[in-house]
C-alpha cells in the first residue's frame, strides 16, 4: 500500500507522553497538517516520521514498508524523504541553481537530466530568473522557495515541513501559503506540515490533524474541522466560537435561561456542550421565524471591523455570545434584539 501510516504511534520522555496512540493514514499525494499549540507533540511526531527519533510504541509504515518501530528504525537518509525547516538551510556558497541541482548530482544523474530537472523545478517555484544568484542576494521568501525546490527536485516519497514560514514576515507568509499549495498541487508529493498557525494549515492542507496533549483530537478536511468540530478543544482552537454548556433536565437541555429539546443532542451525559460560531448567529429586531435557537437580548458592545461588525449579545439571564454581522446590519449598543441560529449551526461537541 502506498502512502504513510502512523499506527498506534507513541513517544514517552520519562513520565511524559509527548505523543500517544496516534493513528493516521495518509493517501499518496495527500497534504496533511499537524496542528496544535506549543508542546502538543507535533514536532515529536514529525521527528519520528523523519527518523531522527525512535517511537516508544507503535510503528510508521511508508509505502508499505515499516520504517520505524521501537525495535527497528531505518535511518533518515534511507527513507526517501525531504525535509524543510524554519531556517532555510540552503548552502550560502552555492547559487540558486547549484542548490537545487545538489541532490540530483548526489544521486549521480547525468548532466543533461540534472539541467533539465533543475530548470523545470526553478520554473515551478518561479525562480528561473534568479538561478545564478547566491542566497545572500535573495529575500526570505525566495530563500524558502529554493529550499522547497531543492526538497522536491529529488521527487521524494514524502515531504516533511517543520514550520517553514515562521521566519517570514506576515504578508509574505500569507503569499507563501498559497505558493506551497500551488506547488503541492503541481507535484502531489505526500506531505506532512507542522504548524501552530490555523490559517496556514487551512490554506495548505487536504486534511488537518488537530493535536492536543499528544493525541489527535480530530482529523478532517479544513471545512469539516471548522464547521463540525468534534471537541471543545478543536472548537476553541480553530477560529472563534461561542461554547455553551447545558444540563439535561425533564423538559430538555437547559442552557443559561433557555431550553433546547433533548432530541437535538446525542449521548446520555448530564452535561451537553455546544459550539455556535459568531457568524452562525443572526440578529434581528423582530422575532425570527422557526429556528432551533432564538433568544431575546441586547447588544452590550460592538466594534466595526470594515468587513464585519463584531457584536456582543447578552440575554437577560446573563448569557453572552459573540455575533459577527455584515456591515449593513447596524444595531446600537443597548438595543433590544433577537439572536437566532439554525439547527445545523448548533454543533454538539465533546
Ligand atoms: P512547539 O510548537 O513548541 O515546537 P510541539 O507541539 O512541537 O511544540 P514537541 O516539541 O513535540 O511539541 O513536545 C511535546 C512534549 O514533549 C513537550 O511536553 C516537550 O516538553 C516534550 N519533549 C519534547 N522533546 C523532549 C525531549 N527530548 N526530552 C524530554 N521531553 C521532551
Atom in ligand 1 nearest the alpha carbon of residue 53 = 27
Q: Is 13 in the pocket of ligand 1 (CB under 6 A)?
A: yes
Q: Choose one of 14, 43, 48 to mutate for the ligand 1 pocket test, by most ligand atoms within 8 angstroms of C-beta.
A: 43
Q: Is 212 in the pocket of ligand 1 (CB under 6 A)?
A: no
- List CB contacts of 120: < 8 A, sequence separation 6 or more: none
- Reported as a single tens digit per residue, the pLDDT across 171-188 is 888 888 998 999 999 999
Sign of CA dihedral 76, 77, 79, 81: positive
In contact, 120 and 183? CB cutoff 8 Å? no
Which residue has 525562480 as its cell numbers? 127
Atom in ligand 1 nearest the alpha carbon of residue 214 = 14
Average pLDDT, the chain: 93
Sign of CA dihedral 261, 267, 271, 275: negative
How many angstroms separate the CA atoms of 214 and 41, rounded? 5
E-state strands within 168-308: 191-195, 207-212, 215-220, 242-249, 252-255, 258-260, 271-276, 282-284, 293-304
- Reported as a single tens digit per residue, the pLDDT across 238-250 is 999 999 999 999 8
Q: Is 41 in the pocket of ligand 1 (CB under 6 A)?
A: yes
How many angstroms separate the CA atoms of 318 and 195, rounded? 37
Sign of CA dihedral 121, 131, 158, 218: negative
Q: Is 38 in the pocket of ligand 1 (CB under 6 A)?
A: yes
Pairing state between β 215-220 and 31-35: unpaired
Q: Choose one of 12, 18, 34, 163 to mutate for the ligand 1 pocket test, by most ligand atoms within 8 angstroms of C-beta.
A: 18
pLDDT at 217 over 90: yes
Q: Is 164 in the pocket of ligand 1 (CB under 6 A)?
A: no
Give the pLDDT band of residue 24 (cuts 50, 70, 90): very high
Q: Which residue has the CA at smallest separation from atom 14 of ligand 1? A: 41
Q: Choose one of 10, 44, 211 to mutate for the ligand 1 pocket test, by most ligand atoms within 8 angstroms of C-beta.
A: 44
Grid cell for residue 161:
515541513
Q: Is 11 in the pocket of ligand 1 (CB under 6 A)?
A: no
The stretch 106-113 carries a mean pLDDT of 91
Give distance in angstroms: CA of 15 to centre of ligand 1.
13
Residues of the chain with pLDDT > 90: what percent? Answer: 78
Name the DSSP class of 130.
Answer: G
- Name beta bridge partners: 17: 12
Grid cell for residue 174:
500569507
Give distance in angstroms: CA of 58 to centre of ligand 1.
18
Give distance in angstroms: CA of 68 to centre of ligand 1.
19
How many angstroms separate the CA atoms of 99 and 92, rounded? 9
Cα of 144 vs its chain's centroid, Å: 20
Q: Choose one of 6, 16, 36, 210 to mutate for the ligand 1 pocket test, by most ligand atoms within 8 angstroms of C-beta.
A: 16
- Reported as a single tens digit per residue, the pLDDT across 132-185 is 999 999 988 889 889 989 999 999 999 999 998 888 888 888 888 998 999 999
Of the chain, the end-to-end C-alpha distance in Å amounts to: 34
Atom in ligand 1 nearest the alpha carbon of residue 196 = 2
In contact, 312 and 300? CB cutoff 8 Å? yes
Q: Choose one of 13, 56, 217 to mutate for the ligand 1 pocket test, by most ligand atoms within 8 angstroms of C-beta.
A: 13
Instruction: Spell out the domains of the chain, with CATH numbers in brackets.
Output: 4-235 (3.40.50.300), 240-349 (2.40.50.140)
Q: Is 10 in the pocket of ligand 1 (CB under 6 A)?
A: no
For residue 247, the model assigns a pLDDT of 94
Q: Which residue has the CA at smallest separation from atom 2 of ligand 1? A: 38
In contact, 347 and 274? CB cutoff 8 Å? yes
Say if residue 343 is exposed, middle or buried (CB neighbours under 10 Å; 0-12, 13-18, 19+): exposed
Give distance in angstroms: CA of 166 to centre of ligand 1.
18
Give the pLDDT band of residue 107 (cuts 50, 70, 90): confident
In contact, 45 and 9? CB cutoff 8 Å? yes
In contact, 272 and 262? CB cutoff 8 Å? no
Length of the chain, please? 350
Which residue has 501552530 as its cell numbers? 196
Which residue has 495548505 as its cell numbers? 204
The stretch 258-264 carries a mean pLDDT of 88
Q: Is 317 in the pocket of ligand 1 (CB under 6 A)?
A: no
Amino acid at each position: 500500500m502506498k502512502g504513510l501510516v502512523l499506527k498506534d504511534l507513541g513517544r514517552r520522555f520519562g513520565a511524559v507522553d509527548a505523543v500517544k496512540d496516534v493513528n493516521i493514514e495518509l493517501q499518496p499525494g495527500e497534504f496533511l497538517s499537524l496542528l496544535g499549540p506549543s508542546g502538543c507533540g507535533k514536532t515529536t511526531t514529525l521527528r519520528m516520521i523523519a527518523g531522527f527519533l525512535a517511537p516508544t510504541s507503535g510503528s510508521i509504515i511508508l509505502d508499505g514498508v515499516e520504517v520505524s518501530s521501537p525495535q527497528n528504525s531505518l535511518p533518515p537518509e534511507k527513507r526517501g524523504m525531504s525535509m524543510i525547516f524554519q531556517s532555510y538551510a540552503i548552502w550560502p556558497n552555492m547559487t540558486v541553481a547549484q542548490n537545487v541541482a545538489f541532490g540530483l548530482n548526489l544521486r549521480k544523474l547525468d548532466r543533461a537530466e540534472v539541467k533539465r530537472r533543475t530548470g523545470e523545478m526553478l520554473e515551478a517555484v518561479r525562480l528561473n530568473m534568479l538561478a545564478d544568484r547566491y542566497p545572500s542576494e535573495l529575500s526570505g521568501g525566495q530563500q524558502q522557495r529554493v529550499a522547497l525546490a531543492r526538497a522536491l527536485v529529488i521527487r521524494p516519497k514524502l515531504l516533511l515541513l517543520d514550520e517553514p514560514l515562521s521566519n517570514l514576515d506576515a504578508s509574505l507568509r500569507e503569499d507563501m501559503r498559497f505558493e506551497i499549495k500551488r506547488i503541492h498541487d503541481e507535484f502531489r508529493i505526500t506531505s506532512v506540515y507542522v504548524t501552530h498557525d490555523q490559517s496556514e494549515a487551512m490554506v495548505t492542507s487536504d486534511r488537518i490533524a488537530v493535536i492536543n496533549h499528544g493525541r489527535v483530537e480530530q482529523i478532517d478536511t479544513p471545512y469539516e474541522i471548522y464547521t463540525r468540530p468534534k471537541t471543545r478543544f478543536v472548537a476553541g482552537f480553530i477560529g472563534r466560537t461561542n461554547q455553551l454548556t447545558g444540563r439535561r433536565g425533564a423538559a430538555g437541555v437547559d442552557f443559561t435561561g433557555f431550553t433546547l429539546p433533548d432530541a437535538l443532542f446525542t449521548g446520555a451525559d448530564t452535561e451537553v456542550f455546544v459550539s455556535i460560531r459568531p457568524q452562525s448567529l443572526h440578529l434581528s429586531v423582530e422575532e425570527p421565524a422557526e429556528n432551533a435557537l432564538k433568544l431575546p437580548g441586547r447588544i452590550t458592545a460592538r466594534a466595526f471591523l470594515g468587513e464585519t461588525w463584531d457584536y456582543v449579545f447578552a440575554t437577560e439571564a446573563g448569557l453572552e455570545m459573540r455575533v459577527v454581522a455584515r456591515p449593513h446590519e447596524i444595531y446600537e449598543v443597548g438595543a433590544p434584539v433577537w439572536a437566532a441560529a439554525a439547527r445545523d449551526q448548533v454543533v454538539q461537541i465533546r
